[in-house]
Amino acid sequence: MENKAADALSRCYDDIELKNLMSYPQWADSKKLLDEVHNDTEIQKLIQELQANSEAKPGFSVKQGVLFYHWRLVISP
């Protein structure tokens, strides 16, 4: 008995180019959301405190000017 599926998978074709297909979620209104965050005085105050002392607020971090709490994006109410 032959295993044709395994045989077909083990063949190598030099003239075939395989391409990666990547998919990831994107925010539809990301600019609007980030603008709201940049205009929120409380969030900006926290960002400034953390930039001065990264240990000032445990659990908070700033990445590329955006505030996170335990790796979750902090957004304005």
* Domain spans of the chain, in order of start: 25-77
> Which residue positions in the chain have pLDDT lower than 50?
none
pLDDT at 24: 74
| Residue 43: partners with Cβ closer than 8 Å, 6 or more residues away | 37, 67, 74, 76
Identify the sign of the CA torsion 2, 8, 12, 14. positive
Torsion of CA 27, 33, 35, 39, to 10 degrees: -160
pLDDT at 10: 62
pLDDT at 16: 61
pLDDT at 22: 75
pLDDT at 26: 76
What separation in angstroms does the CA of 8 have from each of 18, 42, 50, 53, 74? 16, 61, 57, 59, 50
